[in-house]
Chain A
């Protein structure tokens, strides 16, 4: 090897990267150079940097372990903004998969003041104290100290990286997609499956989490397929697939979640590897794919070996070392030791040797090693120690030696600058398990393997426990309905063999890590079992094994094996913990995608909204709608504006946008019969041209909705609902119509948005609208209160109601919505000179409260019956049936002492009580007080020059004239109970 001065561990002869394309980046502020296509880990390794992070609990120095998503240790933070503003910060990024780009700014995490010297590492000294579950056993005294001392301390110590502190400026996209075959994983297995399916003209999506397709074939320098190198075969196959219009290849795309009925979530990282991403690109793209068939070709993940100090920087997985060498052209050291329990590490060692690295020793746990491997090692002059184990290492921030113990018990320290290890390969069962398939234990190979999934999916290749390429190809082809291809395969290395659990019992003298990130050692697992944690689920939660950001990709099998040995139970009886989505951590942004800001939820606006905006309205959200709340004039606060609006309506007139009211057209020969069922009132006697206030209950007898209903003809009703209630009322009606009364000839149509509804209320209302109305006589005689007529207003077809929610003479004009603004303006043109005003929902509330009209949802909640609300007159007694009739007869709904709607007047007329204030009879009683009601509505009434309120009150109707109390934080307010109608009780005005 000829180390370049800048990247001393770059092997010029190896790898697929272009040495001319250098990339500059910084790590903890220090500048480095790497090559285009490097991961942060491979680039740092090329520079001889192994130390990349600190562990969670003990702050142990950690290097990179793996070359993939399974990485538990090398987690770093990336900041994309030059200003380091805190917006584009990404914590907990795996150095092993993050591609470098020019200008990348990476920082280590969970250390202070620096990665090399971390004060938090004192935890390491206390480590024996910090055994599994220690915090359950202490920090309990003194009690208060938990909040003030212990917990803040624990929290500060935890947590790894730092959250962004500003809003994410990046965009995330979403795509729903369908295909015949979805293939997850683009290694040998996935590519062959795609090739076969493509030949059958199926619509295929193939995704792989890596930047390039090929999986392990890219890291294998020796294998040949029909005489081609593995990489060449990948190149040819990918080219063939790319040319096929039925195939969509998605790289940097992780299948993270397998949901019901073959819906799989994929997330594609679009720009994280780019130096200067085009602002039009989304940062990530979520793919929600529904596939007829899913082919899982996830591959296998190499396990580490569990021995003392197996976490020291410089110790890496053998397969990772091979990948770094063959894909990235990086060697992990100059004098490398090998510790293995399977054959694949030999291939890694031989490749390193060939690249010029000295192989200090191969320590093999197995007593018998394949003869061919021994011979090959012998030929290269590499020392092999079978039936031996590494039991410790020297060096803290980077290992410098390994302690090897042989079966005979002799110990030897061998100098190395890196150690590559392998305990064998764990088939990735993540997505198979998420599809609700059960993993099945294979005693012979000591692995869990996929069985039959309840969904339409199949596992192939290394994730299916297949150890060789020829079989992988055969099952891949079969998975997509093809025949096993006839390919000549040479120099394939089998994935078979390995070990789970402790490398050896003598390897446990120090800290032998099972889960690196969460600092779980073999001893912790044993302690958990000793303490009675016999379920693997308890072991997991007590030790936190497998709960870190890598979700136990390396550790789960070891933890399971150690626990099983302690329990003296077979592994499958102890069992795996549950695999859950996401396969690898997935940004919230990719789930949220477009649904931010104005696209979080539709914001519904009426045709008159813009006029209101132009005229200074403040708005109030009501369900999805924005409603004009009040129209302050310059200098007015809300109270003053509402006072003025109220006064104007009562003395002159006001114009109000009521378009958000729900509207349902009920049409058909059985319309009245249907109304009789749905509403508590009777509808038989209502004449066309007349309107009526209706109450709707659910079957339980509580008020569900209300509104005015106009009868347009014998077969047509114009029903209105509350603003928020419109969708559920329509659904409720459809439900009864379709499922209980399917023989009724009646149909329902939502017309909420067909009509703009303009209320003109006040003594001058008629005078204002009269000239605009054609086709109807709206005089007091011909068009009395509670009338409806179809006519024209401003020349456009209209439904004109004479109704009032204010107690004044009033009209509601419905015109087709596109005309809403023009008609409103025409009315306004007459209203303004007449001294009228535009008013909003707040004034509407005050005016209706003065009249004692209820608002469903404010003066009633789901516990108030029509009787409770004083609306018994609207409940037809003679009807044989209506929804709610039976519910209303239940014992508690007919019992005495129910809470009933009443009016309240404060003894001090200036005092406006709080809505939601609670009422008591005896303000002197001790807490808990007996509350007998609460205030539902409360306003200052300018008209009455005093406050008014409504309340639901225990036995309220019987309490007229009683004095009651409202105990607030700083005062007790005295109130008197009375009826709910405060203004114009005789209804003179309304009939004017």
Chain B
């Protein structure tokens, strides 16, 4: 049996203002029966979002020099373990338990009471798992700002704490009856919860850590651009589950979530190509991959609220601020190494604002600015600022505390220059074995 507290929060997610009466009876019914079609789609979506974190590892891993490829990829992969297990232990409960305005409760710690019973039209356990994949990738997203210069233990501690202290509460705010959801902030699949949140944390973390030793001195080029494209492709594929699955059903809304996700990044790619062309005379592959991600991020909050043509507009418009921010950032002293803030923070914020602009009542039940509801844009801006401020402050505090306890967040400068793979993991990404001598006795 699903607890009332959780259902209320949940309802806030699905039942947007103006739809309450319409959907309410359906929800009551939904408690009673699992729909195999909806469950099939949510099973698929859960797998798809899980794959995104592997895709992210390649997107990020291809962008760094080869001496840091494993460290970068592991920052994503280790989130499967740390963020995944902690989600089951307490994160899910903090996000979806109880009905406080700011944070959930501990009533579902260790998944107590989370079983095969229906929650909406899918098994409760599946809803929990689906949300868990979001917790994993949000933590991993931040790592793009930290590559090449952070003690691995400190990184693990950071994402562990951040997931419980920042991510879970913010989910509660927006999707489980918290103050932002209550205000009517629209965030279909996590533009604010996931992307603005991770982007803000990345910005703060990049500043706390400081730039890499050779940042701005030496060129640190992507060692494997095909990996970047592979990552972008896997992310796009997985994002169908991220956005399409956020409908929690295989219906018209789920289809809208998926189809907007298909078209928006296409528009971003086209605009980005023009910007690249006018700036450097050439369309670049790294730019193309970046455009895909920016488009995906921007459509995330809007995916269940706008039409495909609205999605194309959002995708196209979102290219501009991210493009120019990233261009400026690379010439600045801010070593947000893989532009998490530029792509996810700005892309997510722009997407969230444009959700308030392009929302179509016929799609998701809420009208946006273009349909005469300017107030929605204001609500969206409040949500963005709320999440951004909390995430920045909490990130700084967490990192400072970890740094103080663990004797600094970074390895010695000369070690960092040798590359994190060798010094933090004792491995090379691409070993030839030349000059490697077997040590057979035990160490």
A binds B: no
Q: Report B's interface with A, CB cutoff 8 A.
A: none
Q: Which residues of A contact B (CB under 8 A)?
A: none
